[in-house]
Amino acid sequence: MSETAQSNAVPRRVQVDLSGQVAIVTGASQGIGRAIAETLAANGASVALVARSESKLADVAAAIRSAGGTAEPFPCDVSKAEDVTAVVETIHAKFGRIDVLVNNAGVTRDTLLPRMSDEEWDEVLTTNLRGPFLFMRAASRPMMQQRYGRIVNVASVSGLIGNPGQANYSASKAGLVGLTRTVAKELAGRKITVNAVAPGFIASDMTAALGPALLDEVKKRVPAKRLGEAWEIAEAVLFLVAPSSGYITAQVLTVDGGLIG
C-alpha cells in the first residue's frame, strides 16, 4: 500500500464483545466522553449517558441508536451525591446490572495560582475528583454483588507532570490517579478492575481555542508531532473494559504521543 493510501485508510479499530453489558459514561455529551460512549455502544454495550445537558445527551443517544446501538440519557450533576446515587440506582433498576463505569466528566478553570479564586479551585476539584468518587462508590455496590466490573477514570498527563496555569486541574487529576490505584486494590478481590487513562493534547473545541500559532507549538512538543484524536482515547478505554483485561488493574495508560516519555 502506498504512503498516500495508508494515510487515507480508516484505522483498524479494536473490537470487543460487550454484548449484554451495561456501561455508564459520564461527560458523555461531547468530545472524548461522546467518543467513548459511541465506541462502547458499537461493541455491544447498552450505554447510560450522563452529563448535565439533557439536550446534548439526547443528540448523542439518537446518534447511537441510528447506528444500531443502545443508549439512554440520564441528566445528572456529577458533583452532587444525592443526584449520583439516584441516577446510578435508576440505571441499575432499568438495565438490571452495571458492568462498566467510565468517569470522564471534567472541567477546567485555568489561571496562574496567585490569581486563582476559591471558587475556581473548588469547582474543578468538585467535578473532577469528587464526581468520580461518588460514581465509583455508587456503582461499585452492584458490581460487587455480581462479582464483576470494569472502572476507567479519565485522568490527564497534567496530573502526572503538572502544567502551569492548571494547579486546580492538575491536582484533581493527580488525586484521581491516587484514587484509582487505591480503589483498584480494594475491589480486586471482587473481580472488579479500576484503571485510568491519561490523555495528552487531544483535538477538541478546547484545544482549537488555543489558536493556530499556539497549536503549532504544542505539536512541536509532542514526539508524534500531532494532536491525539478522541477516538484514540476511546479505544484505550475499550481495551481496559474488555472482559479479557481482568488481570490489568491499578494502572495508568498514558495516551499522549510520547509527550512525557
Is residue 49 within 8 Å of 73, Cβ to Cβ? Answer: yes
Integer Cα distance of 89 and 84 in angstroms: 8
Residue 148 falls in the annotated catalytic set: no
Instruction: Name the DSSP class of 129.
Output: I
Q: Considering the candidates 95, 135, 148, 169, report the single residue annotated as catalytic.
A: 169
Per-residue DSSP letters for 198-231?
EE-SB-SHHHHTT-HHHHHHHHHHSTTSS-B-HH
Cell readout for 216 is 503549532
Q: What angle do CA 46, 50, 51 make, to 5 degrees?
A: 155
- Rounded CA Rg of the chain: 18
Whole-angstrom distance, CA of residue 44 vs CA of residue 57: 19
Active site residues: 169
